[in-house]
Structure formats: structure tokens, C-alpha cells
Amino acid sequence: MSRAALLVLADGRFPAGGHAHSGGAEAAVRAGRITGAAELEDFCRGRLHTAGLVAASVAAAAALGCEPAGLDAAADARTPSPALRLAARRLGRQLVRAARATWPSPGLDALARDFPKGAHQPVVLGLTARAAGLGPEDAAYCAAYESVSGPATAVVRLLGLDPFEAAGVLARLAPEVDEVVGRAVAAARDAAVEGVDVLPAASAPLLEVCAEAHAAWSVRLFAS
């Protein structure tokens, strides 16, 4: 495995479209639930242990070689909001395009063919990690970190938050990202043996509810 490949995949400038999504932060800012760094940290922590844990476990399971269609259905069942399912598929489609150009592989070709409208992004992420010669832990790190870096970056733009403060939030969450990755990889290994029903299903009611309201706004800065 190449450690540099992980940096390429995890780089915020990797052209996979993630910068257009706030991970629910735009809706939370508008509702007045995020007004500064402290609330951003609490928001990111909650997202990490719910949507982040689920995404990391799905990505790790895909990297381990679990069947993509089963993982995609498991991601659907864990994402009640149709706005979030749509966003996850759009991100998946953008990632598969970038990944096939970067790390050509039969697995990614098959995924693009089987999911013309896009598979859930963590499924694609896991297969991309595999194509890049990375392992389940790497895939889980990318997903878990993305679950907090997306909102942190978005809030810099939405609130004009000092980028140093946003970086501080991410640094303080690092030990919990490690912990979530550990749980996600353990669950993915169980899922490889027992099936996808044993994957974590941690949910965040406000993220789900607010995603629907956000999708209905006529003017917004972020796609989700």
C-alpha cells in the first residue's frame, strides 16, 4: 500500500465534488443552531458518530470486498431522507468518474455500469480505496474525516468563521475520528461474515429532517 495514495484520495482538492456539500451545516446555520466554533464542534461530533460512522463502515466493507449492491441497499435503509440519498448518489457518481480516471480498475468499471445514477458515495469510496491499493481502514478514515471536514469547511464560508478555528475543531475531533474508524472497520469485518444487517445504523434525526427542508430552499450555497 502507498501512503501517498491515501493523501491523493483524502485531499479536499481531489475532484470528486465534495466541496459543494455542507453535510447539513448550511441548514443548521440558517436555523441558528451553529453560530460559532463551539457549536460547529458539537455538530461535527454528532455527525461523526452517526452519519460518519455509518459511511465509514460502508466504505470499509466495500474496501473489504463486500458486494456493492448489498452495501448500497444498506446505505439506503440507513438514510431515510430522500434528499440525502440523492446527494449521496450524486457524490458517488462524481467520485466514480474521478476514480476511474485516477485508478482504472474492473471493479470501478462494473460499479459505474451497475449504478448509472450513482451508488452511495461510501460504497464508491471503498471500491476506490481498493483500486488505489488501500485497505478498509484507509477507506474508513476518508469517510469519517470527510463527515466532519465537509461541515467545518462549509461553516468557514457560511459564517465567515476563522479558518484557524475550523482547523482547531478538526484537530480536537481527531481522537474521536480514530475511535469511529476502529468501530467502523470492526463492524465491516463482521458484515463480511454475517451480512450487511450488522453494520452500524446510527442516526441523526435533525440531519434527516433538516435535509428535507434544505432541499426545498430556492436559494442555497450548498447542494446538501
- Tell me which residues touch another protein (CB under 8 A): 24, 28, 31, 33-34, 39, 42-50, 53, 73-74, 76-78, 80-83, 85, 176, 197, 200-209, 212-213, 215-216
Q: How far is the CB of 180 from another protein (least distance, A)?
A: 8
Q: How far is the CB of 120 from another protein (least distance, A)?
A: 11
Taking the least distance from each CB to another protein, the nearer of 129 and 180 is 180
Taking the least distance from each CB to another protein, the nearer of 68 and 200 is 200
Taking the least distance from each CB to another protein, the nearer of 99 and 144 is 144
Angstrom distance (rounded) from CA 59 to CA 46:
19
Taking the least distance from each CB to another protein, the nearer of 130 and 214 is 214
Q: How far is the CB of 196 from another protein (least distance, A)?
A: 8
Angstrom distance (rounded) from CA 70 to CA 181:
21
Q: How far is the CB of 90 from another protein (least distance, A)?
A: 16
- Radius of gyration for the alpha carbons in the chain, expressed in angstroms and rounded: 16
Angstrom distance (rounded) from CA 85 to CA 77:
10
Residue 202 backbone dihedrals phi, psi, to 5 degrees: -60, 130
Q: How far is the CB of 31 from another protein (least distance, A)?
A: 7
How many CB atoms lie under 10 A from the CB of residue 174?
11
Contact of 185 with 42, CB cutoff 8 Å: no
Taking the least distance from each CB to another protein, the nearer of 201 and 221 is 201
List helix spans (H) across 31-78. 37-47, 53-64, 68-77
Q: How far is the CB of 108 from another protein (least distance, A)?
A: 23
Amino acid, single-letter form, for residue 208: E
Q: How far is the CB of 72 from another protein (least distance, A)?
A: 10
> Which cell numbers in the block locate residue 34?
451553529
> Which cell numbers in the block locate residue 199?
453494520
Taking the least distance from each CB to another protein, the nearer of 48 and 132 is 48
Taking the least distance from each CB to another protein, the nearer of 46 and 135 is 46
3-state SS, 86-129, equals HHHHHHHHHHHHHHHHHCCCHHHHHHHHHCCCCCCHHHHHHHHH
